Amino acid sequence: MDMETLLSYEWSMMAPEFTILIIATVLSLVDLFADKKIDRKLFGWFGAAGIGIALFFLFSQIGHEPAMILANTYRLDAFSLSFKILLLIGALLVLLMGVSYEAKGELLYRGEFYYLLMSALLGAMMMASSADLITLFVGLELLSISSYILAGTRKKSTQSNEAAMKYVINGGISSAFTLFGLSYIYGLTGSTNLADISREISNIAPENGLVLLSVAFILTFVGLAFKISTVPFQMWAPDVYQGAPIPVTVFLSVVSKTAGFVIILRVLLSVFPFAQGLEANTSLLQSMMIFISVLAGITMIAGNTVALKQRNIKRLFAYSSIAHAGYLLVPFVAFSEMMFESMWFYLAAYLLMNIGAFAVIQVMSEHSHSEDISIFAGLFYRRPWMAVMMTIFLLSLAGIPGTAGFIGKLNIFIGALFSDPSRYILAAVMMGTTVISYFYYFGVMAQMFMRPSGSAVPIRMPVGVTIAMVFCAAGTITLGLFPGVVLDFFQTQFNFAEMFY
Amino acid sequence: MLFAVLLPFLASIFIPFLAKWKDRIHTGIFVTLVPLVIFIYFIQFLGTGFQPETRSYSWIPSLDMNMNFYLDGLSLLFVLLISGIGTLVAFYSIYYLHKSEQLGNFYVYFLIFMGSMLGVVLSDNVFVLYSFWEFTSLSSFLLIGYWNHRRGSRYGALKSMLITVFGGLSMLGALVFMSVITNTASIQQMITEKSIILNHEFFPLIMGLLLLGAFTKSAQFPFHIWLPDAMEAPTPVSAYLHSATMVKAGIYLVARNIPIFADSEWFFVIVSGFGIITLMWASYMAVRQTDLKGILAFSTISQLGMIMAMLGFGTKVAIFAAVFHILNHATFKGSLFMVAGIVDHETGSRDIRKLGGLMTFMPITATLAILATFSMAGFPLPFLNGFYSKEMFFDATLDLESTSNALAGFMQQALPYLAVFGSIFTFVYSMYFFFGTFRGKAQISELPKKPHEAPIGMLISPAVLVAGVIIIGLFPELINKPFISHAAASIYGGEIDKHIYFWHGINLPLIMSIAVLAFGTILVLTRTKWEAIYRFIPGPLSMNKVYDGSVKRAETYSERITKTYMNGSLGRYFRLILGAILIITFGFMAATTGFEFNMAYSAEITLAEILVAIMMAVAAVGTILAKNRVAAIIILGVVGYGLAILFVIYRAPDLALTQLIVETVTVALFLMVFNHLPQLKMRKQAWSTKALNLIISIGFGALMTLVAISAHSSKWFDSISSYFVENSYKLGGGDNIVNVILVDMRGLDTLFEIAVLGIAALGIYGMVKLRSNKEEDA
C-alpha cells in the first residue's frame, strides 16, 4: 500500500467516525493534563457537541451511493447509515444523562466515563459499517472492552465491581464463541470479506459442509446473543444493569443492544441466506429459523415473567429489556419485506422509551438514594410533568396506542402474520407476554398515581437529564402519533437492497 | 366530525389551567359544555331521512391507519348516549365533587375518556378503533383509582385495567388478522368481503379473539369480576363509564361485527350462551350484595348479558330489542347510579343494611328511584320503558331461526326458561334496592350523617333521565323511526319495520312477564328464608378467587424462576448457555446427515502419540479433581507440555519451544496471581448438580471433538504450504519457512504483536508498582 492509494480513498465516508475518534482522543489527553479542579462535566457537553457534529456528517451522507474503502473492509450503505443514526442519538442521550449523574463519592474518575463512552460508540459504529469479519470483530471488542470498564466506573461500590467482573467474564466467553464461529466461516470460505464469503458460501455442497456451517452459525449466533441479551445468553443483564451506574446501564441496554442487532443482521444476512439449507432450495438461514424462533419465544417469556416480582427498578428494567430483545427477534424470524423497517423502527422506539424511563429512574433514585420501586410513590403529586412523561414511556413500553411502542409492536405483529410462512405461534407468544408485561408496567404507574408520597423534599432535576427526558417523551409521542413522517423518510431514503452485494 | 372527537382532548389540555381557579368557579361547569356542544352537533343528524355518512382524514397512510369516521344508526345511537349522558354526568359531578378534591385530574381523565369513547364508536378503521379502545381502558383505570388512598380503589383500578387491556389486545389480534386476510383496515369493507373471513381456516380463532375483547370490556361472565371492584370510582364515573357507556363498548363491537359473523352458527351459541349465563349469574349475585353500588354493578352486568344474548339471536326482533334496551338501560341505570350517589352523599353510607326509611327524608330522590327501579324490573306499566324491551326480549327468545346444529337447537329450547329465571332475580334485586333503601324502618343513628334531601342541582340530572324513562314509556314511537330503527337496521343489514306497543293481547311473552312478577314477588316476600342459600352459593366458585389466585401464582412462579436460574451464579449461567448450545447443535445434527469422518488426510498414528494423548487426558481430568489451586495449575501445565511433546514428534521444534515457554510463563503467572486469591474451598454441591455438570461438560467436549473431526475430514482448498515452500527462499532468502513468514512476509504484524505485548507488560508493571506503593503507604 503506497501513499497514493492511501490518499485515493474517500476518507470523508468516515467523517462521523473520525469525529468521534478525535473527541475521544482529545478528551483523554485533556483529562490527563488538565487541572484536577476543572469540572469534568464539561467533557460531557464537549462530547455531546462532538456527537452533534458527527450526526451532521452522517445526515449529509444520506443518499450516498453504497461504497467501500480500505480494501473493501469498510462499507457505507443504507443499512449502516440508518443504524448509525440510532447509535449516535442513543449515545448523545446517554451523555446528557451522564452529565447529570451524581454518585456520592463513588464515581472517582468522571473523565474516564466520557471518553470510554466515546470509544465504545466508535466500536459500535465500526460494527455497523464493517464489511469484513476482522473489522467487525475489532469493532465488537472495542465496544465490549470499553463497556466492561464503564460498568465498573463506580469504583467504590461493590455492586459496580461485581457488575464489571461478571460482565467481563460473560463477555469473554461470548467473544470466544463468536470468534470460534467466525473462524469456521473463514475456514469454509477462505475469506474474511463478507462479499467474498457470500459468494463462496453458496458453492459449498450441503452433503459435506452442513454440519460445520451449522456449528458456525450456532456459535456465532449464541456469542452475539450476549450483546442483545437474549436466551441463552441473557442472564448477565440483570446483574450488570443493577450494578452499573445508570447512564452505563442505559448505554448497555440501548446503544450496545442496537449494535448487537446490527452485527447480527450484518453477519447472518450476508452469510447464511446464501448457504444451502437442510432441504433443497432453502437456505441455511431458513432452516435455522426454527431455533431462533424458539429462542425468541423463550426470551419473551423469561424476560416478562421474571420481571413480575421485581422490586428493584433497575433489575425490573433489565428483565423488560430482555423481553424487548425477544420482540425484536420476531421480525428477524418472520423475515418479511418489512423486516428492516420494523426492526429499525422498534429499535428507535425502544431507544426513546427506554432512555426516557431510565432518565426518570436516575432522577428518582438519586433523589431518594434507593432503587426500590416505591421511590415512584406519589410522583404525580410532586412532579406531575415528570410523572406524565414516565407514563408515556411506560405506556410505550407496554405497547399502548398513541405511543411509538405501539406502532413498533403493530409493525412487528403484522409482519409476523404477513410473512410466508406466517409465524402465528410467535405472534401469539408476543401477545401473551405483552399482557404479562402490563402487570409490572402498570404496577409502576399505580405507584406514581395511586400512592401517597412519602416526603415533600423538592426533587432536583438537573439540566442534562431533563433535556434527555423531554426529548424522549416528545419523540415517543411523535413517533406514536405520526410514525408516517419517519417511515416515509425511511422508505424513500434508505434502500436496504444495498446491503447485499 | 373529527373536531367532535378531538374536542374533548383539546379541552382536556386547558383543564389544568382552569382548575387553578377552582375555588372561585367549579371546573365542572366548563367541562359540562364540551359534551353539550357535541350532543347538539350530533342531534342534527337525527330524523327519518338519516343516511350513513363517512369522513376521512389521513393520518398514517403507510400503515393503513387513517381517521376514517363512519356515522350510521348504530354509531349515532352511541354518540348521542356518550354526549348526552356525558352532559348530565358532568353537571351532576359539579355538586357531587367538592372543590377541595383534585378536580383538574378528574376532569382531564373524564374528557380523555369521552373523546376516546367517541373515537371507538365512530372509527371505521380497525387500528384507530383499537387505539381509542385502549384509551378508554386507561382512563377508566385512572378514574377508578381516583380516590387512591383507598386500598380497594387501587386494587379495582389495576384489576379492571388488566382484564380489559388483556381483552383489548386479543381483540387487536383478531382485527389484525382480519385486516391481513381481507387486505383492508376498514370494517365496512370487511363486511363486503366477509366470505374471506368466514371461510378462513383460522375463523374460529378470529371470532374467539374478537369476542374475548368484547366480553372482557362488557363484563360478561366469567370476566365480569372487574366491574364490581370498579365501583370504587366516584359515583359519576360509575354512572357514566361503568354503566352507560364504556361497558357497552363490547356490545358495540359485537353489534358492529354482526354482519360479518352472524352467518356462523357458533356465533349464536357463544354470544347468546355467554350472554344468558351472565344474565342469570349476575342477577342472582346482585341479590346477595349489601352495597348499593354493588347491587347496581351486578345489575349492569346482568343487563349487559341480556343485550349480548339478544345480539346473538340475530333475528329482527332481537336486534331491535337489543338496541332499544341499550337506550332504556342507559336511562334507568344512569339515574339509579345518580340516586345511589345522592344517598351516599347525603347519608354517608351505601350499606343497604344500615339504610332504610329514607323516603320521608328525601321524597324527590325516592320518587325518581321508584320510577327507575320499576322500569328496571320490567314492571308492566305503560309509562316505563323497561317493560317494553323486556317484553321484546321474551318475544325474541321464542322466535329464533331454526338451526341444524344440535347444541344451538338445545339452547333454543332452553332459552325462554333461562330468560324467565334471570328476569325473576332482576325483579327481586330491583325491589330489594328500592325497598331496602327507601322503605322500612329508618336507622338514623347508624348513619354517619343525618339524611336530608339533596340540593336541587344534584337532582336535575337523574330527573332528566327519569323523564326520559317516562317519555319513552308513554310515546315509544317518538324515538322509533327517527332513531332506533336506523341503529337496528345498520346492525341487521336491512330495513327493520317494527312497531312498539304496550298491549299485544294475551300471548306467551305476557304470560312470561306475569310469571316473573308472581315468582319475583314470592321471592321478595320470603327473602329472609333464602338468605342461607344466598350466602352459600357461589362460595369457592367465585371468579374473583381465580383472578386473585392466578395473580398470586404468577408472582410466586416468577419468584421461583428468578431464584432457580437468575440467581447471579456464573456457574449456573454458563451451564445454561452450554446446555442450550448442545441442544441446538445436536438437534440440528440429528436433522442432517452431514457429519463426516474421513481418515484419508491423516497420517498414521504411532504408539508415542497415543501415550502422549492419554497423558494429556489424564492431566485434564486430574485438574478438575485437584484439591487446591496450585496443584490444579501445575497439573494443567502437563496438558500444555504434552502439546509441546506432540510438536516435537511432528518435527516442529521451534513451535515446541514456543509452546514450552508460553506454558511456563502462563503457569508462573497463574501461580503469582493465585497467591493473592482466597483459599479454594470445595463447595458442597448437590449430587444432581454435579451429574448435570458432568453431562454438560462431557456433551460439550464431545461436540467440539466431533466438530474438529468433521472439520479435519473435509478439505476443499489446496494447502497454502506449497506456496511458502516454493517462495520463502526466493522472496525471503531464509531457509526456515516459519522464520521467513514471521519476520518477512508478515513482518509488520509481528512488529505490532511485539508492540502489543510490550504495552501489556508495561501495564502489568504499572499495576504491580501501584500495588507495592500502596503497601508502602499502608
Q: What is the pLDDT of residues B664-679, one digit of tens each?
A: 888 887 777 777 777 7
Most confident of A180-194, B374-388, B472-486, B735-749: A180-194
Pick A442's closest partner by Cβ from B149, B158, B562: B158
Q: Across the interface, do B576 and A307 touch by the CB < 8 Å criterion?
A: no
Name which of B588, B709, B712 to mutate to probe chain A: the one with the most chain A Cβ atoms within 10 A of its Cβ.
Answer: B588
Q: Across the interface, do A211 and B589 touch by the CB < 8 Å criterion?
A: yes
> Measured between alpha carbons, how far is A414 from B128 in angstroms, rounded to an integer?
15
CB-CB neighbors (< 8 A) of B142 in chain A: 449
* Residue of chain B with shortest Cα separation from A222: B581
Rg (CA), chain A: 22
Q: Across the interface, do A209 and B707 touch by the CB < 8 Å criterion?
A: no
Residue type, A461: M
* Residue of chain B with shortest Cα separation from A292: B584
Mean pLDDT of A293-307: 88
Whether chain B has a CB inside 8 Å of the CB on A204: the answer is: yes
Pick A484's closest partner by Cβ from B62, B158, B551: B62
Whether chain B has a CB inside 8 Å of the CB on A309: the answer is: yes
Whether B7 and B118 have beta carbons less than 8 Å apart is answered as no
C-alpha cell belonging to residue B582 = 448442545
- Per the prediction, chain B carries an average pLDDT of 81
Specify the range with the lowest mean pLDDT, choosing from A373-382, A403-412, B449-458, B596-605. Answer: B596-605
Q: Across the interface, do A484 and B60 touch by the CB < 8 Å criterion?
A: yes
Mean pLDDT of A451-468: 82
CB-CB neighbors (< 8 A) of A484 in chain B: 59-63
C-alpha cell belonging to residue A347 = 429499535
pLDDT at B9 over 90: no
Higher-scoring residue by pLDDT: B474, A169: A169
> Measured between alpha carbons, how far is B613 from B618 in angstroms, rounded to an integer?
9
Compute, in degrees rounded to 10, the torsion defined by CA atoms B458, B459, B464, B466. 130
Pick B584's closest partner by Cβ from A218, A483, A488: A218
Most confident of A66-75, B42-51, B753-762: B753-762
Mean pLDDT of B1-18: 81
Mean pLDDT of A180-202: 87
pTM of the model: 0.84
CB-CB neighbors (< 8 A) of B154 in chain A: 446, 450-451
Specify the range with the lowest mean pLDDT, choosing from A95-109, A128-142, A425-439, B584-598. Answer: B584-598
DSSP B325-374: HHHHHHHHHHHHHHHHHHHHHHHS--BTTT---GGGT-HHHHHHHHHHHH
* Residue of chain A with shortest Cα separation from B142: A449
pLDDT at position A420 is 74
Specify the range with the lowest mean pLDDT, choosing from A149-163, B45-59, B621-635, B695-709. Answer: B45-59
- Which residues does residue A361 pair with via DSSP β-bridges, in sequence order? none
pLDDT at position A390 is 93
CB-CB neighbors (< 8 A) of A395 in chain B: 138
* Residue of chain A with shortest Cα separation from B703: A215
pLDDT per residue over B183-240, tens digit each? 888 888 888 888 888 888 888 888 888 899 889 888 888 888 888 888 888 888 888 8
pLDDT per residue over B512-555, tens digit each? 888 888 888 887 777 766 666 666 666 545 667 777 777 777 77
Mean pLDDT of B483-487: 80
Other CB atoms within 10 Å distance of the CB of residue A286: 16
pLDDT at A333 over 80: yes
Q: Across the interface, do B63 and A484 touch by the CB < 8 Å criterion?
A: yes
* Residue of chain B with shortest Cα separation from A407: B63
- Residue B565 pLDDT level (bands cut at 50, 70, 90): low
CB-CB neighbors (< 8 A) of A419 in chain B: none
Residue A451, CA distances (Å) to A358, A381, A385, A446, B679 in order: 21, 9, 17, 7, 49
Residue B295: helix, strand or coil by DSSP?
Answer: helix
Cα angle, residue A144 at apex, residues A138 and A146 outer, rounded to 5°: 100
pLDDT at A481 over 80: yes
pLDDT at B566 over 70: no
DSSP B664-695: HHHHHHHHHHHTTSPPP------HHHHHHHHH
Q: Across the interface, do A288 and B588 touch by the CB < 8 Å criterion?
A: yes
pLDDT at A444 over 90: no
C-alpha cell belonging to residue B574 = 454458563
Phi, psi torsion values for A337, nearest 5 degrees: -65, -25
CB-CB neighbors (< 8 A) of B158 in chain A: 442-443, 446
- Which residues does residue A67 pair with via DSSP β-bridges, in sequence order? A76
N residues, chain B: 778
Q: Across the interface, do A431 and B581 touch by the CB < 8 Å criterion?
A: no
Q: A443 vs chain B: nearest CA distance in angstroms? A: 8
Interface of A with B in 244-283 (CB under 8 A): 278
CB-CB neighbors (< 8 A) of B577 in chain A: 173, 222, 232-233
* Residue of chain A with shortest Cα separation from B155: A446
Kindly list the domain boundaries of chain B, sorted by start residue.
1-212, 262-525, 717-778
Interface of A with B in 77-106 (CB under 8 A): none
Compute, in degrees rounded to 10, the torsion defined by CA atoms B161, B162, B163, B169. 100
Residue B309, CA distances (Å) to A237, B412, B419, B438, B514 in order: 51, 12, 10, 33, 22
pLDDT at position A262 is 92
Question: Closest by alpha carbon to B174, among A431, A266, A46?
Answer: A431
Mean pLDDT of B693-697: 88
> Measured between alpha carbons, how far is B72 from B323 in angstroms, rounded to an integer?
13
Q: How buried is B677 (Cβ within 10 angstroms: 0-12 exposed, 13-18 middle, 19+ buried)?
A: exposed
Whether chain B has a CB inside 8 Å of the CB on A400: the answer is: yes
pLDDT at position B452 is 76
Q: Across the interface, do B594 and A208 touch by the CB < 8 Å criterion?
A: yes
| Percent of chain A's residues with pLDDT above 70 | 96
Mean pLDDT of B692-714: 84
Q: At what angle do helices B363-377 and B316-347 cross, to 10 degrees?
A: 150
Pick A442's closest partner by Cβ from B135, B161, B707: B161
A-B interface: how many C-beta pairs under 8 angstroms?
A: 177
Q: Across the interface, do A407 and B581 touch by the CB < 8 Å criterion?
A: no
pLDDT at position A105 is 63
Q: A212 vs chain B: nearest CA distance in angstroms? A: 7
C-alpha cell belonging to residue B21 = 381557579
Kindly list the domain boundaries of chain A, sorted by start residue.
9-499
CB-CB neighbors (< 8 A) of B756 in chain A: none
Name which of B216, B581, B748 to mutate to probe chain A: the one with the most chain A Cβ atoms within 10 A of its Cβ.
Answer: B581
Residue A492, CA distances (Å) to A238, A495, B63, B65, B202 in order: 39, 7, 15, 19, 36
Question: Closest by alpha carbon to A274, among A490, A499, A452?
Answer: A499
Q: A53 vs chain B: nearest CA distance in angstroms? A: 32
- Which residues does residue B56 pair with via DSSP β-bridges, in sequence order? B68
- Residue A24 pLDDT level (bands cut at 50, 70, 90): very high
* Residue of chain A with shortest Cα separation from B718: A190
C-alpha cell belonging to residue A431 = 401477545
Whether chain B has a CB inside 8 Å of the CB on A206: the answer is: yes
- Per the prediction, chain A carries an average pLDDT of 87
pLDDT per residue over B226-275, tens digit each? 888 888 888 888 888 888 888 888 889 888 888 888 888 788 888 888 88
Q: Across the interface, do B585 and A232 touch by the CB < 8 Å criterion?
A: no
Mean pLDDT of B694-706: 87
pLDDT at B310 over 80: yes
Most confident of A167-181, B154-168, B306-320, B446-460: A167-181
> Measured between alpha carbons, how far is B317 from B319 in angstroms, rounded to an integer?
6
* Residue of chain B with shortest Cα separation from A229: B577
B183: left (phi over 0), alpha (psi -120 to 50) or beta: left
ipTM attached to this prediction: 0.79
Cα angle, residue B248 at apex, residues B349 and B41 outer, rounded to 5°: 100
Mean pLDDT of B316-335: 86
Contacts of A56 (CB under 8 A, 6+ apart): none
CB-CB neighbors (< 8 A) of A402 in chain B: 131, 135
pLDDT at position B649 is 86
pLDDT at position B538 is 61
Q: Across the interface, do A239 and B558 touch by the CB < 8 Å criterion?
A: no
Helix (H) or strand (E) holding B319: helix B316-347
Whether A438 and B165 have beta carbons less than 8 Å apart is answered as yes
Residue type, A467: I
C-alpha cell belonging to residue B217 = 370490556
Q: Across the interface, do A238 and B566 touch by the CB < 8 Å criterion?
A: yes
DSSP B508-539: HHHHHHHHHHHHHHHHHHTHHHHHHHHHHSSG
- Check the CA dihedral B263-B264-B265-B271 and report its sign: negative
